[in-house]
Structure 1
Amino acid sequence: MRRMIGAALAGVLALGACGTADEDEPSGGDATGGVTKVKLQLQWFVQAQFAGYIAAVDKGFYTEQGLDVQILEGGVDIVPQTVLAQGQADFAVSWVPKALASREQGAQITEIAQIFQRSGTYQVSFADSSVKAPADLKGKKVGNWGFGNEFELFAGMTKAGLDPGKDVTLVQQQFDMQALLRRDIDAAQAMSYNEYAQLLEAKNPKTGQLYQPSDFTVLNWNDVGTAMLQDAVWANSEKLANDTAYQQTAVKFLTGTLKGWAYCRDNVEECRDMVVKKGSKLGASHQLWQMNEVNKLIWPSPNGIGLLDETVWKQTVDLALTTKNQDGQTVITKQPEGTAYTNEYVQKAIDSLKSSGTDVAGTSFQPTTVTLNEGGA
């Protein structure tokens, strides 16, 4: 796993740069005409997973902070924390375990906001496969995407007493659910807001109707106790330590970002429409489902959206240190060094938004009910 991640990180040194939307260097906090240009690197293609950032651009929340934010789309060949570490972006969105692995390999990055408070990763099986707990994966064909997305799965199997290298047959899974639908594998990795919906957007050949949740069983790593922190905002460690303008930009960027996410909590359909307009690859009902499910991962945030819970951070680090893959390797080999995270800048953003009347906790949040269409249309 670590070799795979290392190869992927090395392979995107050039790709990270060419994956940006233009050739201008990020400002790093330099202002032109009173406006500071900022580049944000996403970790995947445009979808409602990133609706808060898109809304902050479209609704002018970044402009209110004196920022001109350019959102750089991610993809299979782009490692956002590497793009950030190379200076090709000012901030990046990345899962914490992946970023910790990059830090151990030398990336000078620091987490400045924890947007997702809960994990969205599932392991999904057909209900008739009798996979009701991680221990039931023994002897099964278990799909996973690799590239750093499988850490919770390995932790769940390890906690259940399974050896991932011996007790299951690991299958490299595509970023869709076709292998499970064809029953080529017994359990598939899925995000609650994306691939799981793809199952419910597919027709059951036995009934001619769309599949229903009752047709599947879901292992939710939050329930199992092996959830790891996912979408976080990362910044350049050296600039945070030495560049006052960059520090100020970080607070402004987070202020606009958190306001964007609060807007998408309260305006689900409008944010869905923004995402679709930006060119999301999957359709309107899929993006509405995704917006609703992403909100569940963020809200409520009793201490304020983006504030990192140190207990959950410790769980993520401990799992990254102790969970072994099929080759006996762990995500990281030692405790993160230096300033791996800070709540300083997000707390300032939270305080600013609270003073202006923005609900940053969402304690009364209630998800909506979404009807999916075939193919997510």
Structure 2
Amino acid sequence: MHRAAWTVLLGLLATTSIHAAEPDITLQLRWKHQFQFAGYYVAKQEGLYEQAGLSVRLIQGGPDAAKPLEALLAGEVDFAIAKSGVVIERMRGEPVVALAAIMQTSPNAWLVRADAGIHTPLDLVGKRLMLMPGHESAELLAMLRREGVDLDELELLPTSHDLDDLVEGRVDAYDAYETNEPWQLKRKGIDYHLIKPRAYGVNFYNDVLVAHESLIDQEPAVVDAFLEASLEGWRRALAEPEKTAAMIQANYAPERSLAHLQFEAEGLAELIMPELVALGHMNPGRWQSIAESYVALGFADGPVDLGGFLYESRSATDYTMAYRMAAGGFFLLLLASLLAAHFARLNNRLRREAARRMAVEERLREHQAELFRLANTDALTGLWNRHRFEEVAGREIRRARRYGHPLSVIFMDLDHFKPINDQYGHAAGDDVLRTVAELIRECLRESDSVCRWGGEEFLVLVPHGCPEDAYRLAERIRQRVKDCHDAEGGGITASLGVASLGESEDLHGLLQRADGALYQAKEAGRDRVKVARPVSDS
């Protein structure tokens, strides 16, 4: 049923259920109670399930609990939370259907100690890696394959679920959630580094809400009601993370600190991306790509056929609902007769209105996106402008201070750029700037940001980047610029200055030191990278 129609019926039937009696519904969580499942807790605690006519029981997961997909397929639960590996079961012919993908990006990452000298997937060759079984770690393995790492060159160990194995050096890398285990290392005062698959082009869905095909066939209205109430729970949880964290601690996870839950909430918001993507959104093409990755890793056999895997609501045309409501009493009988007489006309009216509103909302989104682009990007290069960079950098600096993460910036200036404009004209100079902007983009990780600061100057923000990380990135950019323009006979080079955030330093001071390092690079002969001394040595 369309959401607008569902809202109308809920308003009319606030005290009634979808059935004569509230269906008892069970949801199997993937892990122990934590912010990772906040939307379902909110839907239960704030009565959203009850308003939808459902009595819902949430079953905690964990290493000793039933595996969600196995419990679902065995008929022990009605709904389950699964990783993107659920698509493997569908390719094997299991009747499992994906209703919504809560996380648009997987939180799985290789967690390493900062003092281990491991910064890239290639650095993991010959190392001891502790990972989850089977396809649970598929995105981590897919990243290694994509980067040309032979899995036979790794010592792969089954996870112990004990982070002390990493802390005490029994393993070199640990299959972790970036929203969870890093907090534990932070509390122990241990610096760490995350190698994230999405930084290397591997981007899987995570925490996928799934159901058995038979439930969808037999109770489509129940599935729709549960899905809509759950998504509304997630909207409220993400809108008020501190309130939600306190509720989770009080009712579900008293052993977790509020600070830990809030750390998890902040990380999850970045993975769910509610400002950019509709909650639960799933792209068929992306699922196809994920399925093909599993086939390439040997977890499933091809060819990939995902027919029926993605959920399509069936309750919009379920005309038996009005008759089921009649069991609620005389009032419901009267209401059912009214609905039976006017249902088709009301449905058509609601659909037309919904289509009109969706069209208006889409135009507004497009208009807002265009306004945002114009206000925040450089018209020539398409990079962020100075205003947007300062806004993001300020937020990242606050986050770095809060969680003790390193942060660096790279100030870059093209050498001998003025003669290009003087000799060949500004159009040629503009072409050079656009080319350089694209070269910088190609060198960055997903978490890095770049802006055109002005003229031929560029600034790169490197969150979670220590001086060594930023220096290596700056060298890579410098070499790409030199190689590209040497090949074209242009002779363009770049000078770069690197600075890392000091303990009490603000953005202005950080940029001043990076600019000073850039000046040193110019003075030393150009086409080189210089690193600013730490604040304490300045």
Question: What TM-score do you get using the length of structure 1 for normalisation?
Answer: 0.75
Shift, 1:345, TM fit: 7.1
1:188 has 2:174 as partner: yes
Distance in structure 2 (CA, Å) of the matches to 1:263 and 1:341: 25
Aligned residue for 2:136? 149
Shift, 1:60, TM fit: 1.0
Where does structure 1 lack aligned partners over 5 or more consecutive residues? 1-29, 203-209, 324-329, 356-360
CA contact (8 A) 2:220 2:313 kept: no
Shift, 1:182, TM fit: 0.5
- 3-state SS of 2:123 partner: helix
In terms of Rg, which structure is larger?
2
Distance in structure 1 (CA, Å) of the matches to 2:43 and 2:176: 27
Aligned residue for 1:270? 243
Paired residue for 2:214, among 208, 215, 238? 238
Q: CA RMSD in A?
A: 3.0
Aligned residue for 2:148? 161
- Within a 5 Å distance, the mapping from 1:1-377 to structure 2 comes to 33-76=20-63, 77-97=65-85, 99-164=86-151, 166-202=152-188, 210-211=189-190, 215-240=191-216, 242-243=217-218, 246-280=219-253, 281-300=255-274, 302-323=276-297, 330-334=298-302, 335-336=304-305, 338-344=307-313
Shift, 1:35, TM fit: 2.3
Task: Number of aligned residue pairs: give it.
Answer: 313
Higher relative contact order (CA 8 A, sep 6+): 1
Distance in structure 2 (CA, Å) of the matches to 1:239 and 1:50: 22
- 3-state SS of 2:157 partner: strand
Q: Deviations over 1:134-155 (max 9, x none)?
A: 1111111112122432111211
Aligned residue for 2:6? none
Structure 1 residues 251 and 301, CA gap change in structure 2 (3 angstroms): farther
CA contact (8 A) 1:285 1:371 kept: no
CA contact (8 A) 2:25 2:57 kept: yes
The letter for the 1-side match of 2:201 is G
CA contact (8 A) 2:288 2:306 kept: no
- 3-state SS of 2:206 partner: coil
Shift, 1:308, TM fit: 0.4
The letter for the 2-side match of 1:88 is E
Aligned residue for 1:26? none
Shift, 1:92, TM fit: 0.8
- 3-state SS of 1:115 partner: strand
Aligned residue for 1:327? none
CA contact (8 A) 2:182 2:192 kept: no
Q: Deviations over 1:134-188 (max 9, x none)?
A: 1111111112122432111211111122221x21111222223211111111111
The letter for the 2-side match of 1:196 is P
Distance in structure 2 (CA, Å) of the matches to 1:171 and 1:337: 32
- 3-state SS of 1:320 partner: helix
CA contact (8 A) 1:37 1:67 kept: yes
Structure 1 residues 309 and 104, CA gap change in structure 2 (3 angstroms): closer
Shift, 1:200, TM fit: 1.2
Shift, 1:34, TM fit: 4.3
Shift, 1:74, TM fit: 1.4
CA contact (8 A) 2:27 2:58 kept: yes
CA contact (8 A) 1:95 1:231 kept: yes
The letter for the 2-side match of 1:229 is Y
Where does structure 2 lack aligned partners over 5 or more consecutive residues? 1-16, 318-353, 359-364, 373-394, 405-538
CA contact (8 A) 1:285 1:372 kept: no
Distance in structure 2 (CA, Å) of the matches to 1:152 and 1:346: 35
Distance in structure 2 (CA, Å) of the matches to 1:39 and 1:288: 27
Instruction: Say which structure is richer in helix.
Output: 2
Aligned residue for 1:205? none
Distance in structure 2 (CA, Å) of the matches to 1:307 and 1:156: 23
Distance in structure 2 (CA, Å) of the matches to 1:218 and 1:342: 34
Distance in structure 2 (CA, Å) of the matches to 1:345 and 1:225: 35
CA contact (8 A) 1:307 1:343 kept: no
